[in-house]
């Protein structure tokens, strides 16, 4: 069986990193693909999985378990990726920071460029992409579909009270994005990152009142996105309070598909 994926890079991407885009196009030509717009690929090659879930809903934990069990995945956390580009002052990072500093949302096309710049080498190697954190709206989903095709959507449904309790206990290492929780994943030394020994911090938006506002906003914005993918027959929702209970269901579902078995 042959599945069809859209693998189009926008013109803006060509202007920003032409060598990488041309390398991608050349590779596709070498595989006897006549166009980058409707690329036929064997089932064992790249597929695209999106993981959705509220802040603190366990997307990171579930993603790590998936990476362990499905070695073909390359994980792209758009939040971590954006912070990395801003910290390293790349061309895309500088442009994104300009929007962030002015209080504006980073435009969809810029977020897609960030994702595709990171993902292209892995896609060329035949790896599958696990997207975490983007898209968050139907508009973003439609913009992403102009570049690539989503095969499967895993949606995590975790109660609000569980998330508030979980996030209020969360501390992070700002430079790397590593997350610790004193209730289930404590640092080896209190207040210090396990790898660098640098100080951990707690974000202001990890306070209970801020968390509830974020969850309300997420529900209002993302609920239509979940339905959008459900209507396409792509999304499956997994409910629970513990990642260790939810993940076996996710794994069984992915193994039942012809994409990730």
Helix (H, G, I), strand (E, B) or coil at 208: helix
Per-residue pLDDT, 181: 87
Taking the whole predicted model, whether its pTM rises above 0.85 is answered as no
Cβ contacts of 112 within 8 Å, gap of 6 or more: 10, 13, 134, 143, 144, 147
Say if residue 63's pLDDT is above 90: yes
Q: Is the pLDDT of residue 118 over 80?
A: yes
Look at the domain 46-158+213-256 and name its fold. Rossmann fold (3.40.50)
Kindly state the average pLDDT of the residues 170-184. Answer: 88
C-alpha to C-alpha distance for 97 and 80, rounded to whole angstroms: 14
Catalytic site includes residue 214: yes
Please name the residues in contact with 212: beta carbons below 8 A apart, sequence gap of 6 or more: 160, 164
pLDDT higher than threshold 60 for residue 21:
no
pLDDT at 252: 94
| Residue 170 is a catalytic residue | yes
One of 16, 41, 59, 166 is an active-site residue; which one? 59
Tell me the binding residues for AMP.
78, 83, 104-106, 133-136, 140, 203, 214
pLDDT of residue 185: 86
At residue 15 the predicted structure's pLDDT band, cuts being 50, 70 and 90, is very low
For residues 72-91, give the mean pLDDT: 89
Given the residues 15, 203, 227, 242, the one annotated as active site: 203
Residues in binding site for GTP: 56-61, 170, 179-180, 243
When comparing pLDDT for 14 and 127, which is higher? 127
**Which of 136, 178, 192, 236 does the annotation list as catalytic?**
136
Write down the catalytic residue from 41, 65, 166, 214.
214
- Say what the pLDDT of residue 45 is: 66
Over the Cα atoms of the chain, what is R_g?
19
pLDDT digits (tens, 9 = 90+) for 87-97: 999 999 999 99
Is the pLDDT at 123 greater than 50? The verdict is yes
Degrees to nearest 5, angle at CA 157 with 64 and 136: 75
Q: Residue 22 has what pLDDT?
A: 31
For residue 247, pLDDT over 90 is answered with yes
Confidence band of 20 (pLDDT split at 50, 70, 90): very low
Q: Report the chain's mean pLDDT, rounded to a whole number.
A: 80
């Amino acid at each position: 069986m042959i599945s069809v994926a859209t693998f189009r890079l926008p013109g803006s991407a060509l202007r920003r990193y032409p060598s990488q885009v041309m390398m991608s196009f050349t590779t596709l030509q070498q595989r006897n693909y006549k166009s980058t717009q409707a690329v036929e690929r064997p089932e064992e090659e790249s597929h695209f999985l999106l993981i959705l879930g509220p802040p603190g809903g366990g997307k990171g934990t579930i993603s790590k378990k998936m990476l362990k069990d499905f070695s073909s995945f390359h994980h792209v956390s758009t939040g971590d990726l954006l912070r990395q580009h801003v910290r390293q002052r790349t061309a895309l990072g500088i442009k994104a920071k300009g929007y962030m500093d002015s209080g504006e949302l980073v435009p969809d096309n810029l977020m897609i460029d960030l994702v595709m710049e990171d993902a292209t080498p892995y896609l060329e190697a035949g790896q599958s992409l696990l997207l975490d954190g983007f898209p968050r709206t139907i508009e973003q989903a439609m913009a992403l579909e102009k570049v690539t095709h989503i095969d499967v959507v895993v949606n995590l449904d975790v109660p609000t009270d569980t998330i508030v309790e979980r996030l209020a206990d969360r501390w992070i290492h700002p430079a790397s994005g590593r997350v610790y929780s004193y209730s289930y994943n404590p640092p080896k030394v209190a207040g210090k990152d396990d790898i660098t020994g640098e100080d951990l911090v707690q974000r202001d938006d990890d306070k209970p009142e801020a968390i509830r506002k974020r969850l309300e906003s997420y529900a209002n914005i993302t609920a239509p996105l979940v339905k959008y993918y459900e209507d396409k027959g792509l999304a499956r929702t997994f409910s629970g309070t513990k990642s260790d209970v939810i993940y076996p269901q996710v794994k069984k579902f992915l193994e039942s598909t012809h994409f990730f078995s």
